[in-house]
Structure 1
Amino acid sequence: MLHFGCEDLVSIDVPTNKLVRSQVFDSEQTAISALTGIYNQLYLSAFSNGSWNSISVVSGLSSDNIQNINTSNLDRMEFQEHQINPENSYNLELWSSAYNIIYMTNACLEGLYNSEKIAPDLAIQLEGEARFVRAFTYFNLVNLYGSVPLILTTNYERNALAEKSSVEIVYQQIIDDLEFSSEVLNPSYRTGERITANKFAATALLARVYLYNEEWQMAEMLSTEVINESSTYQILDSLNTVFLANSREAIWQISPIGGGGIATNTNDGNIFVIDPVFSFFASIQLREGLVNTFQEEDKRLANWIGYNESLNAYFAHKYKIRTSSDFPIIEYSMVLRLAEQYLIRAEARVYQGKLSEAQNDLNVIRERADLLPFEAQSETMLLDELFIQRQKELFTEWGHRWLDLKRSKRAQSVFGSDPLWDSGDLLYPIPTQELIKNPNLTQNDGY
């Protein structure tokens, strides 16, 4: 497994563990291993590993979905209170781990471009996967921080002094990478497991990108492509099977095997599930305000939300396994899944005036939860219900609620009564350590 420390990106001197591309890409097997190392690193990287300082946790705390049980951890409390200090260590790890992944994908791409020993079909496949991972990482960075440096090379001197690129430029690179990936990747998964990117993983993420950029027609078209791939993907009736490894609702997942240790549980399960015996270890709980929005008959309440009596705390129970060292691995961390594509298409259709079709998509999600079909009286009512269902369906997954509140301009209505809230809190601060290392970086407004 390839690994680069968080300091590699900003180091002007060539690190001692620099990837020697002429060696790593001297055979097809080593090239495949290099990309496998990137997937494995996603399970170790702070922003993507589902653990304490992952997007799922810190952006969940920033939203109205989860809160700290243990309030003594000041770094996590700063996310919950929207008072993030630029020196916050969680924020630094979020930023630096994402750029570490970007460095690895750039090194992989340069190795592929310069190698003459890899069959063209395999080289284009690996390039598509690497560009997908890079686009995925930049998508998270640009939505959490706004304008960020767009690093597309392993050139240390250039990277160390890179200025911010505008949100529009970063998004264009994301689109370029994903369009390439969706064109060259196969519909099948290269390893047979849903832990590598395929055509539909790229298409699904691209649908989200176009949704965020309010290009409704493209978002509808691309989400439809994924939804129509019914031979591979389906909405599962049993909610307790959704987050299993290689479930038919999964479009892309991250495997715990990337951790390299004996644990075979997801970090998501370990963080969110409150152990019935050792509950004193718990640090995160669901907000009662979220739990109270679920109707009694909603299957998500019974299947995806647990309750610990000793703490009087509700917890996310999408993942059932808190700790495990057993094989085969039962659960993988979910990154992209089919339910989101229905919600993407529903929203895109609302903004195109296709209210009946949008309502049908929304009701796929509601009816799976055993709720009666929703009948909208207006576009506003349908949009309101759509964002309610996005919160209920996607809670504790990848900061969806936080990003939804930001992009829909609903954050003020949710947090406006909090005296600590300020509109500048919508973006996380650039870490102080990065500003010190790179004099060309500027801090986000409000910090």
Structure 2
Amino acid sequence: MKLKNLYITVFAFSTLAVLLITVNGCKKAIDVGPSIVNANSSNAFTSNSSAQSTVAGIYSYLSAGSFFQGSNSVSLGMGLAADELKTTSSGSQSLGLLYSNSYSAVSPPSFWSEFYKEIFFCNTTIKGISESGQITPSVKNQLVSELKFFRGFIYFYAVNLYGTPPLTTTDDYQNNNTLSNSTAATVYAQILQDLNDAKAGLPDNIYVDASGAAVTDRVRPNKQVAAAMLARVYLYLQNWRSAENEASELIGNSRYTLVKDLNQVFLKGSTEIIFALQPVSKTYLNTIDANFLVVSASYALTTQLALNNQLVSAFEQKDQRRSKWIGTFTTTTNPVTTFSFANKYKVSSLSSTVAVTEYPIAMRLAEQYLIRAEARAQQSNLSGAKDDLNAIRDRAGLDPTLASGQTELLNAILQERRLELFTEWGHRWLDLKRSNNLDNVMSIAVPLKGGSWMPYKAILPIPPSDILANPNLKQNPGYN
């Protein structure tokens, strides 16, 4: 169904335009300029509808690109940096640098500026809504809770990709101009606070639109979405009991089920979806990522990304994910080359008449099974861990795991994450990093990609313009 008054409104884009001008007009990402509350206070937060439209503008910005999907997305960028994706031609320079792991302080990935642009949107809008006396309490609670979820979500990626990113929850540009690096523990504490606040304030077991009316599309966060993200965060913090408990909230909820038909998992009506974004682009009516991942002759292979051969070889022969989620394309010109490509999302057509059948998915139930499997294994509940792992394997047409013992089972779970979550949200890179396997894997994978691996590249470089403009901000080790 089409969500009324949710993502795209004229007011939403006019408000967002002021936000973007404020951010893009500055010389550094942390220096976000004067507050949008001051710049646009006469319009943005004077009523329920104006506040809802302001938040809709943020949703639209996230869905239209940013680090959520497209050429600057975490899924594509970190899939290239890891051992999931490869370029099919010279293509984009930034994608090529990630693929060869040749990023540097001179040529950094673009995630940093996107993270802080979007954090600024959240901070400014949270303040404006919270301080407004013209927004009803129920609307205020819903919108602030949604924004806190997004802020926690964004900071999760900031801390995992950059190590010690500055933490700011204010729109005070003078303070933001002088921020120093924060410890990972400090950032994680804020992530947990935001996600727990969001979980407490969001609607329970129902998806709603901006007005609070129930909808079928799962494109705004609810209490279960916050729980799913908390499960992921607790897993990374090795808080196994909390990770298991949060994941169990999703697995035990009849609203969410593993979709048996693998061709149906990534459709917008999939019951496996926990949270997705509604497409807003007039060019990419379904997902933007499919236009990079579904390799075909129509785009002359200039920007498309194929799957790494080692990933394809890792699937068992009878694994249905190999036949349903991986496609092949053979060129017709010399040298004749056959590419394997990610075919989870299947609609790459740019036709204005193509049906909207796929939404970019941020979280789905399969991840929660694998989170709980790992958390249970870490707590020596090996039978429970096997049950969760086998739920994913059974859906893929595989026999139950033969892993025995805690170490072997944990390795099997990590391997299953590789095969189930490939090209989704940088999971492979982050899993290798948190399991202390990144150096071992990349020291073999990167030379095959034409690059050289150094352990410091596990953390990305901060853009040099920010370092030069803010003496309190320190570059990550290895990039000076």
Provide TM-score, normalisation by structure 2.
0.88
Shift of 1:347: 0.3
Map of 1:245-284 to 2, 5 A cutoff? 245-257=268-280, 259=281, 261-284=282-305
| 1:390 to 2:409 alignment | no
Q: Could you tell me the percent identity over the aligned residues? A: 37
Q: Which shifted more, 75-84 or 61-70? A: 75-84
Structure 1 residue 378: Cα displacement: 1.2
1:32 and 1:73, CA in 2 relative to 1: closer, same or farther beyond 3 A?
Answer: closer
Distance in 1 of aligned mates of 2:339 and 2:178 = 47
Aligned partners of 1:436 and 1:386: how far apart in 2?
A: 43
Is 1:161–2:178 an aligned residue pair? yes
What are the residue-to-residue correspondences of 1:317-396 with 2, within 5 Å?
317-324=343-350, 325-326=352-353, 329-396=356-423
Q: Which residue of 2 aligns with 1:14?
A: 34
Q: Which moved more, 1:244-253 or 1:124-133?
A: 244-253
2:207 aligns to what? 189
Question: 1:241 offset after TM fit, Å?
Answer: 1.2
Of 244, 264, 281, which residue of structure 1 is paired with 2:267?
244
Q: Contact 1:298/1:369 (CA < 8 Å) preserved in 2?
A: yes
Change (3 A) 1:18 1:194: farther
Secondary structure, counterpart of 1:256 in structure 2: coil
- Residue 307 of structure 1 is matched in structure 2 by 328
Structure 1 residue matching 2:341: 3-state secondary structure: strand
Map of 2:135 onto structure 1: 118
Counterparts of 1:267 and 1:445, CA distance in 2: 34
Change (3 A) 1:237 1:262: same
The alpha-carbon distance between structure 1 residues 19 and 391, as it changes in their structure 2 partners (threshold 3 A), is farther
1:292 and 2:345 aligned = no
Which one of the candidate residues 19, 23, 26 is aligned to 2:46?
A: 26
Question: Which piece of structure 1 moves more, 381-390 or 327-336?
Answer: 327-336
1:183: Cα distance to partner? 1.2
1:80 to 96, 99, 120: 99
Residue pair 1:87, 1:433 contacting (<8 A) in 2 also: no
1:345 touches 1:358 (CA, 8 Å); kept in 2? Answer: yes
Secondary structure in 2 matching 1:148: coil
Q: CA deviation at 1:97?
A: 1.2
Root-mean-square deviation (Å): 1.8
Paired residues of 2:228 and 2:368 also in contact (CA < 8 A): yes
SS in 2 for 1:308: strand
Asked if the contact 1:359–1:375 (Cα under 8 Å) also holds between the matched residues in 2, the reply is no
Write the letter of the residue equivalent to 1:244.
Answer: L
1:355-411 CA deviation, whole Å, 9 max, x = no partner?
000000000100000001113221111111111110110000010000000000111
Q: Which runs of 5+ in 2 are unaligned?
A: 1-12, 210-214, 332-336
TM-score, normalising length from structure 1?
A: 0.94
Q: Which consecutive unaligned segments of at least 5 residues does structure 1 have?
A: none
Q: Is the 2:48–2:134 contact (alpha carbons within 8 Å) kept by the matching residues of 1?
A: yes
Letter in 1 for 2:186: I
How much has 1:96 moved relative to structure 2? 0.8
Q: 1:75: Cα distance to partner?
A: 2.4
Could you tell me which residue of structure 1 aligns to residue 115 of structure 2? 98
Aligned counterparts, 1:115-264, within 5 A: 115-187=132-204, 188-191=206-209, 192=215, 193-230=217-254, 232-257=255-280, 259=281, 261-264=282-285
How many residue pairs get aligned? The number is: 441
Give yes or no for contact 1:275–1:282 (8 Å, CA) kept in 2: no
Instruction: Please tell me whether the aligned partners of residues 256 and 272 of structure 2 are also in contact (alpha carbons under 8 angstroms).
Output: yes
Quick one: structure 1 residues 442 and 328, their matched pair in 2 at CA, closer, same or farther if it must change by over 3 Å?
same
Secondary structure at the residue paired with 1:416? helix
